[in-house]
Amino acid sequence: MTKRKNHSPLFKAKVALEAIKNEKTLPELSQIFGVHIGKWKKEAVDNFQGIFTGEIKSQENADKIEKDELYKK
């Protein structure tokens, strides 16, 4: 039995972005990256709106909020 691979969020984002570009088909991309990417693409597209509505915070904003809370005293 083989162990399941855990891919980094950065790798998943890179692959999902390539899938969203539609320059190659999903089967072609799956063969290139060696993973099934349909779920990652769907997840990226579904959550894309959250970036602009503020539901998903960028790392820069998260760091700023944390710093503001620390210095609130």
One pLDDT digit (tens) per residue for the chain, 73 residues: 677 788 888 899 899 999 999 999 999 999 999 999 889 999 888 888 877 777 766 666 666 667 777 777 5
Domain assignments of the chain as residue spans, ordered by start: 9-70
**Cα separation, 66 vs 72, whole angstroms:** 10
Q: What is the pLDDT of residues 22-38, one digit of tens each?
A: 999 999 999 999 999 88
**In whole angstroms, what is the distance from residue 37 CA to residue 29 CA?**
8
Q: Which amino acid is at 63?
A: D
Three-state secondary structure string covering the chain: CCCCCCCCHHHHHHHHHHHHHCCCCHHHHHHHHCCCCHHHHHHHHHHHHHHHHCCCCCHHHHHHHHHHHHCCC
Q: Is the pTM of this model over 0.85?
A: no
